[in-house]
Structure 1
Amino acid sequence: MTIPFLKVHLLVMNSSIANKITNVEDMIIKKIRNTLEEHSDPEEKRKKIHWEKQYQEKPRIYGIPSPTVRKLSSEFFKKIKKKPKQEIIQLCNNLLESGYSEERTIAFDWAFRFRKLYEKSDFHLLESWLMKHVHGWGACDDLCTHALGAFIHQFPESIQKAREWTISENRWVRRASAVCLIYSVRRKEHLEDVLATADALLIDSDIMVQKGYGWMLKEASNHYPKEIFNYVMKNRRDMPRTALRYAIEKLSPEYKAEAMKRE
């Protein structure tokens, strides 16, 4: 009879621990939301809703300037950074599920802050966030130039998986396929992958995708001006004007003038 008793006892203990963790998570989330409510500004909310309605039918926004949100995010992270990684991820998931822009910013920021703990399997988590919680260029660029970009920098074998995003029906996923390489190319890495991704997106008709891969090429031009100039010259007949202008923005006046010449 002792074995069943031990099993029951362990189940009760595990359930108690799980409930305790959940209660702590709930308290943290509640504190964050109360703080965000306190910083909410009606005029800021009105402006942000007007802007976000371009991309979402019913955006959820507190109305807080981005610098303030990031400052609050930093302060809250200090209180949870010693927690196990999975608990932090669960907190991020809880924030993301609310649909609020500011809570999403905090979740993406925390994910970047624990980047030293990334594992290969985390690609699926970050990809799921991209697919489910990114509905505009701000969220796309935030995730891709920080958490997702840092992950790809650490695990470059994931670039091939990210390349698959270039054929997604979702404009933000296609944009992400380019923007997620900016973190690496700023560190003088993965030029070949940058050019391959630009090839895949070259004639994309969506202006937000054009701006995304044009921005990626622009960042690459800081370290590889000749290579980017040559790429633009080779493809300028097919490259949309928006992407071309972004790509050459930081090139020398001579390169820019040559690239803009009409054939």
Structure 2
Amino acid sequence: MNQRPVKSAQQLIDSLESLANPEQALLSLRYMKSAPGDYAFGDQFLGVKMGPIRDLAKTYRNLPLSEVLLCLHSPWHEVRSCALVIWTLQFAKATAEQQQTIYRDYLANTDFINNWDLVDISTPKIVGLYLLDKPRNDLYQLVKSDVLWQRRIAVLACFPMIRNGESTDILKLCEVLLEDKEDLIHKACGWMLRELAKRNQAIVEQFLQDHYSQINRTQLRYAIERFEPELRQRYLKGQF
């Protein structure tokens, strides 16, 4: 019986390139802030939406690690996105040893995880899940990075921990990032505080009160989004 041929990175890239849409690519370039002077300047887009990317990731979910890495190193944003979705699918079914390999390769290749969507679709499902029952030292190294995306990885990795009822790490990381200059970090911290508030609003309120003079307004608005309207207005006015 003939064996099914092993899929390759080039086959996946060819499949994505066949779906290219120049008009959508231009919209993506603007939306993802990849023009000169923007935070993701230089990123390149095929113009493929997330639905087809996820479908292809399922088709290529058994792509060998070396081939996934080739895709992750692609100049095309959508190819990198597909590689990361494949990793999340593989991680979910992997042995402990395989998960460790994916985790290590993920952190070794953060230069290619270089926009907010790439971080958000992959970090919680790989870094966050891996660290649920392990020391979080890597997060405290990432949060000190000069690279915006590495700091966002540190924050988004806390999502599974928050869902697991934990609050210590996200509060410590948000405190470290209070003076951060990047809007995408304020939004990430505010988002995670909002998720924490769904489970423990009192601890988020205490954090906001303790750091009210430092906290960015964007982060504050994200954090209190689910508060009762009257309470939300009080926090916006600093009346608590």
| Corresponding residue to 2:143 among 166, 171, 175 | 166
Instruction: Give the match for residue 144 of structure 1.
Output: 123
List aligned pairs for 1:186-205, cutoff 5 A: 186-188=163-165, 190-205=166-181
Gaps of 5+ in 2: none
Deviations 1:46-102 (A, max 9, x none): 21123331333322222111111111211222xx27xxxxxx221210101222111
Alpha carbons 1:109, 1:147 under 8 Å: kept? no
Q: What SS does the corresponding residue of 1:56 show, helix, strand or coil?
A: coil
**Does structure 2 conserve the Cα–Cα contact (< 8 Å) formed by 1:179 and 1:212?**
yes
Partner of residue 126, structure 1: 106
1:67-216 equivalences under 5 Å are 67-77=51-61, 80=62, 88-115=64-91, 116-119=94-97, 120=100, 122-130=102-110, 132-153=111-132, 155-157=133-135, 159-188=136-165, 190-216=166-192
Find runs of 4+ consecutive structure 1 residues off by over 4 angstroms: none
Which is helix-richer, 1 or 2?
Answer: 1
* Aligned-residue CA RMSD (Å): 2.0
Residues 127-158 of structure 1: CA distance to partner in whole angstroms, max 9, x if unpaired?
A: 1222x1122211122222322222222x431x
When Rg is computed on C-alpha atoms for both structures, the one with the higher figure is 1
- Kept in 2, the 8 Å contact 1:249–1:256? The answer is yes
SS in 1 for 2:181: coil
Name the CA distance, whole Å, in 2 between partners of 1:201 and 1:133: 23
1:56 corresponds to: 40
